[in-house]
Structure 1
């Protein structure tokens, strides 16, 4: 005889499986759902009635009968717009908030510049940004929660930001703080982990069980899906790709080590090379673009120089690509991925950069591991981290398992 707890768990599992089938395969009939999930029509009817009442599913009319003259089945479809999710992306430069429906479609967003905030001031800025963003809603009963992503070592299970050197944050209970302030469900995860989930669930790596996502910006990080699951490590720090050592006698890193990859493949390292070139009097179109003001050196200026085939900008790109490829060879040999996705704004769409990185990885990684390896840019677009935040929450909400 099944215990009450066992029965409730099985009912909940069936409900999630049924909803997942409707999301992915709708419009679909109750009979087809029962066949797909392998449960009785009675079980499907009970779960569907609850889902309709809660607004996750709706009936949309009749389908074709399986038998000539037979009763036409009622079709069901998922209702992604009856509920919404608030997505939050924290970076060194800004806090970005957006609204997503349950299909991870971003309908609105707001950017709150960081303006140099560090440490506890960042937490306060995030709370104020959420207060402002949520004030536009008269009814939050349709909000399933707040999903937050940030760089750093994060314990996603507990919702703790354990360590971030650039933001000066250490052991911050982000999930607890936000839940206490707003009374909503909260998810909190590393941004690279969120991005690799988004690529797997929403982007070009769908149905890929072994994929790496590498993001290049103010720092460099990686998210990995290994055998279908996000690989986190024992303390959530498995994606600290930027802190692998490529030169023991190299540049001192803020983490305390020397020669970390991040100091050779990131915007600060590119900025330093541009700065040094201009100070040394090396001819570059960047000098004209900034009109002599070194404070005006930005990623946008650098990208403009690349578009104009500036020699200094191109040489920096080549050096950056070579260092990145060195790191990716290590990841390829360690994880044997079927795909590596490159994200971040710095080199998106620059096919020369992608070709140079790909060529060296395919040349230098173990041959047996790179035969079918695909290296490409992200498909997620400018709202990538908001989509990542959405993927974290929706993956939890719609991918129920017995171990959850």
Structure 2
């Protein structure tokens, strides 16, 4: 019984401490008195939490506030730069390693191509890069941990990458590998899940019911319901690219037929461009890439769009139709407050956003779509790194989403 009481006491202390830290972070500079009032905690509870946070360097005291007579209160503020975290973002084509502060600001980063590696070779390369990156870090004792995100089916609690088709990763215990090798607490999460958290925490979309969809190399989504990530049993929830849009369609490597991924991911768009060029259809894409197929990338496609190229516009319309239909299913199923579009094909492609928006308007249930916010992802190119940071910070500092 005593042990249980002790455990509960520790838990309550930790919760109070994270409540206090959160308030200092979101509302600071703030006095101890205000903290006690706003968190409905006793002044002594606040005082001991603050003392601990100051000692560990998460919080510092700054000058005095104004007072209504009597002593002026000392104000507290959050210190994002006293500690740092290491973030790793694995995509299907590159690995990005970064040092970040506790407000998810990138302090240093490196980007390395994966260059066709698969399976174990991906992990070997990652560890090799990480060894070098760690060796270059000063004051590692101030590092709060390592956070990794990766596309595919990921169990966040076990830190295992169960399945990634493109990199051929199967049941890789990344968390254990990293913790054993570097002796540092490690978090592992699906890339889309982590980005939806970052959009909620650091982006323009502070909603508790939020869906993020990324359309690029592949197609994925992160779904936040009542401020909880929708993960499913194996971490596979949100495999948006593998929802079927055509039962008699193209066979997919996932085992299904007619997957959305096969119709609108960049790989699908690219193969349609190549076919069109091969059959002699005139397009600016050929000139822009100087006839070199390897130079045909999303930015070239978007440049052709801007210049009014007919092929690019036709393909963009096709993507919008398929994407719109799939999004309407999500809207009708989950009734989100906001839905965000991100990824290479969406950024810098306002026509796509407009066409999808019009499609949702025509086809989703009126009550569900009328007050739904629909827009472009707001975090820019550091979104995956900020996602990795958000996963760690939410857990470590109790960056509770509900403020």
TM-score by length of 2: 0.96
CA distance in 2, matches of 1:365, 1:37: 41
Instruction: Note if contact 2:209-2:336 (Cα within 8 Å) is conserved in structure 1.
Output: yes
CA distance in 2, matches of 1:346, 1:46: 50
5 Å-filtered alignment, 1:360-379, equals 360-379=359-378
Instruction: Note if contact 2:302-2:348 (Cα within 8 Å) is conserved in structure 1.
Output: no
Instruction: Note if contact 2:393-2:399 (Cα within 8 Å) is conserved in structure 1.
Output: no
Q: Does 1:180 align with 2:205?
A: no
CA distance in 2, matches of 1:292, 1:380: 34
Q: 1:296-342 CA deviation, whole Å, 9 max, x = no partner?
A: 22222212211211111111111011111111011111101111101
**SS of 1:141's equivalent?**
helix
Deviation at 1:128, TM superposition (A): 1.4
Instruction: Note if contact 1:146-1:186 (Cα within 8 Å) is conserved in structure 2.
Output: yes
CA distance in 2, matches of 1:291, 1:78: 52
CA distance in 2, matches of 1:264, 1:373: 26
Question: What is residue 324 of structure 1 aligned with on the other side?
Answer: 323
Instruction: Note if contact 1:349-1:377 (Cα within 8 Å) is conserved in structure 2.
Output: no
Structure 1, gaps ≥5 residues long: none
**SS of 1:81's equivalent?**
coil
Which residue, 17, 21, 24 being the options, matches 2:23?
21
5 Å-filtered alignment, 1:30-49, equals 30-49=32-51
Q: 1:47-76 CA deviation, whole Å, 9 max, x = no partner?
A: 1111111111111111111x23x1100111
CA distance in 2, matches of 1:244, 1:49: 51
Q: 1:27-59 CA deviation, whole Å, 9 max, x = no partner?
A: 011111111111111111111111111111111
Question: What is residue 168 of structure 2 aligned with on the other side?
Answer: 168
Question: What is residue 113 of structure 1 aligned with on the other side?
Answer: 113
CA distance in 2, matches of 1:105, 1:349: 23
CA distance in 2, matches of 1:77, 1:313: 51
Instruction: Note if contact 1:13-1:400 (Cα within 8 Å) is conserved in structure 2.
Output: no
5 Å-filtered alignment, 1:343-382, equals 343-382=342-381
CA distance in 1, matches of 2:24, 2:283: 57
User: Which is worse superposed, 303-312 or 147-156?
Assistant: 303-312
CA distance in 1, matches of 2:389, 2:50: 24
Question: What is residue 236 of structure 2 aligned with on the other side?
Answer: 237
Deviation at 1:400, TM superposition (A): 7.3
CA distance in 2, matches of 1:37, 1:55: 21
TM-score by length of 1: 0.96
Instruction: Note if contact 1:148-1:189 (Cα within 8 Å) is conserved in structure 2.
Output: yes
Structure 2, gaps ≥5 residues long: none
5 Å-filtered alignment, 1:275-290, equals 275-290=274-289
Deviation at 1:346, TM superposition (A): 1.8
Which residue, 48, 62, 69 being the options, matches 2:64?
62
Deviation at 1:398, TM superposition (A): 2.2
CA distance in 2, matches of 1:266, 1:320: 8
CA distance in 2, matches of 1:45, 1:291: 67
Question: What is residue 6 of structure 1 aligned with on the other side?
Answer: 8
- CA 218–282 in structure 1, closer or farther in 2 if over 3 Å, else same: same
Instruction: Note if contact 2:251-2:258 (Cα within 8 Å) is conserved in structure 1.
Output: yes
Question: What is residue 122 of structure 2 aligned with on the other side?
Answer: 122
CA distance in 2, matches of 1:292, 1:342: 31
**SS of 1:264's equivalent?**
helix
Count of paired positions: 398
Q: Does 1:134 align with 2:134?
A: yes
Question: What is residue 82 of structure 1 aligned with on the other side?
Answer: 82
**SS of 2:381's equivalent?**
coil
Q: 1:330-370 CA deviation, whole Å, 9 max, x = no partner?
A: 11111011111011122213211101001101211122211
Which residue, 37, 41, 52 being the options, matches 1:50?
52
CA distance in 1, matches of 2:384, 2:48: 37
Aligned-residue RMSD, C-alpha = 1.3
Question: What is residue 293 of structure 2 aligned with on the other side?
Answer: 294
Deviation at 1:193, TM superposition (A): 0.4
**SS of 1:36's equivalent?**
helix
Q: Which runs of 4+ in 1 moved over 4 A?
A: none
